[in-house]
Every structure is written in structure tokens, then in C-alpha cells.
Amino acid sequence: MRKPLTSTFFAAGLLAAAASTASASSHREAPGIAEDQYVDNTDVYVFISPGDASKLVIVANYVPLLIPSSGPNFYRFSDDAIYEIHIDNDGDAVADLTYRYQFDTATKNGGTFLYNTGAIDSLGSANLNVTQHYRLQRIDEHTGRRTTVIDRGQVAPWNVGKRSFPGNGYESVALQAVATAGGVRSFAGPRDEPFFVDLHVFDLLGVGGAPTTDGVNVMSLVLEVPIAELAKGGVRPAAGVASKDSVLGVYASASRRKVRILRERRDSDELGSYVQVSRLGWPLVNEVIIPLRDKDKYNRSLPKDDVKNFGAYILDPEVPKLLSAVLGANCAPKPAAGRTDIVGLLSPNGTTAADLLRIKINQGQTFADSSFPNGRKLTDDVTDTLLTVACNSGAAIGDGVNANDKAFTATFPHLASPHSGNP
């Protein structure tokens, strides 16, 4: 049985980092990104598809902790940002492939404040006043070649409420937003927040098993791609091969234009090249490994430089010291070599250690094998796993929250339907 924390879970490091509201895997984890919610990465999940072991599912969530009843301007993706999923397929922590989402919002009738002017029964409903579409591109980072995978996918609408989606009809409308192109499937839209954790740690370390992320939503990008299209050279490695190429590394990011000019008499202008403002691979790295002084710098930097930039934080993490000092968790002392065990988790098969979510893609790997840190399933209790690893005392440590409030599905897009704004 896991021993629940009786006091804080990450203690001072997280308290300092978490600003004024709740924080989960990587929600509002840095001072800069806390002021730009729409481009804040929250979580990345990667797992072999439960329905087709030849495919990989990647979930990249953004825009944290969304209240369901959040009208009149319901949450969406930013039209002025690019959202990207990066794939390293040769183990050097440098992206070889990138899937890029760009969004565009349209309003049918600007003369009303209403998001929808009547009940909605399909994505194409004339009553859906505000719609958002996206283009999905695949970028070969070696050649620079861009291929449009989905030219005009539609973002699933917000689950406004029972009057807008009568008869529990929301999910059937939302699932119409699943787009298919060749062997690729894509979904963009609101989902139930899948990360489960007790955030009462921020009330003077008062954690105790409360499921504090229940009932909120998040904006999700869900991508399902044939593994062979992601693997180096287009060939899925054979079973049993333990090479750098048999592990994919995944991280998500968001970028904004370098310059924004606010105008007095019209909308602002966004100019210049894109600058990365957020990134995430593993859960909880920028939350509790990187201290305040480096959090914004972390978001601007690339995983390939993680060792030289932040390696000392990994080798000598703050979390176990706090667990011992505050909770009496009796965590193991840091070895002379530092926490090379954590470095090893970040560098399977001799890949370059970096904050990438890595998953083995050999022939024969299945959904059942996709368990953090070999990928990450929606049901994986990464909080408990990382606390236990960090403390390294031989005892399991947890926060007392072990499951999501809603069940995940075996069918794409796998995340649960978002909470209604008016249930």
C-alpha cells in the first residue's frame, strides 16, 4: 500500500514555483508562461495505440486547468502561436520530425456575444457562431520539407452546456472533429484534464489525497501516426534490438512571434520569426527540478542542451531533501556520483540524456509495454512514480490520488469528454 504524504509533496520548491493557483504536471510552472496561458504546455503522453500496435499515439496538452463554465469567450488555441510535437528518432535529443499545428478562428456573426446561437448537433451547425480550424504539417527537420497532413481540420467546440448540446449530444459532435489523412489521425479540442494529483500541497503543505484536478478541462492535441513513419529511415526496428534508433524521444512546444505591437485603433500585429516560449517532455521537470531562476530559461532552451544547462539539478535534485526534511521520508542520501539513476532513466539505450519522453518502438511493443518512463499512458500515476524514484528509499511514496475522475477510452482520441459548462 502506498504511504500517502501527510504533509507537502514537493514542499518549498513547488510552493515557490506555483504562483497563485494550482499546478499539475507542468501547468503554470514558470513565471513567464504563467502570464501566457494559451501557450503553456501542461502534459505529454506517448503510448502504442491500444487498438493498433503499429501506431503511436501522442497527446500534447496545453492551456491548463480550464473551468468548464468559462463563457462568453470559451477557451481555444491561440491563432498567433504554433504548437509543435517534436520527434527524435536517432537518440541525439535533436528533433528529426516535427508535427506543427496552426490555428485560425472565425466568427459568423460578430453582432452577438453568443458562442453559439442555438443548439448544436454537428460540427457544421449554423448555430456554432465561433469556430476554430487548424492546419497540421509534418516537417522533416533534416531537409526542411513541409508536408501538409491535414489542411483544414476543425477544433472540437467547447462543451458549453446541456442547452447547447441537448440530450448529452456533446461528445458525438466533438468526435466529428477527428480527422484522418492516410494513416494519420488527429484531434484538437477540449478534453477532461487527465492529470490527477492533490494540489493542496500549496495550502501550507496540506496534501492528503484530494483529487484537486477533477472537474477541469484542458486543450488537447492528439495525434496517431504509424510508427514506421516516425522511425529512423522509415523502418520500425526489429524486436529485441536495443539501439538508440529503437527509442523515440518526444517533446511538445509552443512558440510565439518575436514581436507584438499593440495598436490603439485595431488589433495587434504579430511580427517576426517564432520564438519558443514553452516546452515539455517528462512530467514535472520544470515544475520541481528546475528552480525559479532558470524556469523561463528552460522554456526557451532545447532538450539537446539539458545536460550542460541543467544537469546539476538532475544529479542533485531538491525534492528528496525536502521530502526528508519536511515529511521525514528518510530518502536515500545522494551518492557521490549524484543521481545517475535518474540520468539513466532519461537516456535509455544510450540515447543523449535530455528531457524527452522516450518510448521503445521495436516490433512487438504494445500498449501494455507503454508504461512510464517507457512512454506514458493516461492512467500512469507519474506523481507517485517520480516521488518514489526521487526519494529512492525503497518504499513507495504517493500523494493519495491514484486515478482520474473520468475513465479514458480505448478508442481515439482516448481522453475523456470535457466537463460541461452547464451539466
Residues that bind other proteins in the complex, under the rule CB under 8 A: 290-291, 293-294, 297-298, 300-301, 305, 307-313, 315-316, 318, 334-338, 340, 343-344, 347, 352-353
Per the CB < 8 A criterion, the answer to whether 280 and 43 are in contact is yes
Residue 193 or 296: the one with the smaller Cβ distance to other proteins is 296
Contact (Cβ atoms closer than 8 angstroms) between residue 310 and residue 302: no
Please state the closest distance from residue 94 (CB atom) to other proteins, in A. 13
Nearest distance in Å: CB 141, other proteins: 20
Of 297, 269, 271, 295, nearest in space to 284 by CA? 295
**CB 316, min distance to other proteins, A:** 7
Residue closer to other proteins by CB (options 112, 340) is: 340
Which residues lie below 8 Å from residue 40, measured CB to CB, with a gap of 6+?
A: 26, 27, 28, 33, 34, 62, 63, 64, 254, 278
CA distance 195 to 24: 7
User: Least Å distance between CB 82 and other proteins?
Assistant: 20
Q: Which helix (H) or strand (E) holds 184?
A: strand 184-192
* Least distance (Å) between residue 113 CB and other proteins: 40
| Nearer residue to other proteins within complex by CB, 78 or 286 | 286
Distance in Å, CB of 352 to other proteins, minimum = 8
CA 267/CA 265 separation, integer angstroms: 7
Nearer to other proteins, 82 or 353 (CB): 353
Distances in whole angstroms, Cα of residue 40 to Cα of each of 23, 201, 216, 418 = 12, 21, 16, 19
Closest CA to 59 of 248, 230, 250, 212: 250
CA–CA gap between residue 53 and residue 63 (Å, rounded): 30
Find the radius of gyration of the CA atoms of the chain: 21
Tell me how far, at minimum, the Cβ of 326 lies from other proteins, in Å: 17
Which residue number, 312 or 410, has a Cβ lying nearer to other proteins? 312
CB of 203 or CB of 305, closer to other proteins: 305
193 vs 318, beta carbon nearer other proteins: 318
Q: How far is the CB of 329 from other proteins (least distance, A)?
A: 18
- Nearer CB in complex with other proteins: 83/313: 313
Handedness of CA 319, 311, 383, 205 (dihedral sign): positive
Q: Omega into 335 within 30° of 0, i.e. cis?
A: no
Find the shortest distance in angstroms from Cβ 255 to other proteins: 15
Closest CB to other proteins among 26 and 116? 26
Residue 337 Cβ, how far from other proteins at the closest point, in Å?
A: 4
Contacts of 188 (CB under 8 A, 6+ apart): 77, 101, 103, 134, 153, 155, 156, 177, 219, 220, 221, 222
Please give the Cα distance from 40 to 61 (Å, whole number): 9
Q: From start to end of 282-366, where are the E strands?
A: 357-360
Helix ranges (H only) for 189-305 are 227-230, 285-288, 292-300
* For other proteins, the closer CB: 23 or 352: 352
Distance of CA 4 to the CA centre of its chain: 25
Q: In angstroms, rounded to a whole number, what is the distance separating the alpha carbons of residues 76 and 165?
A: 18
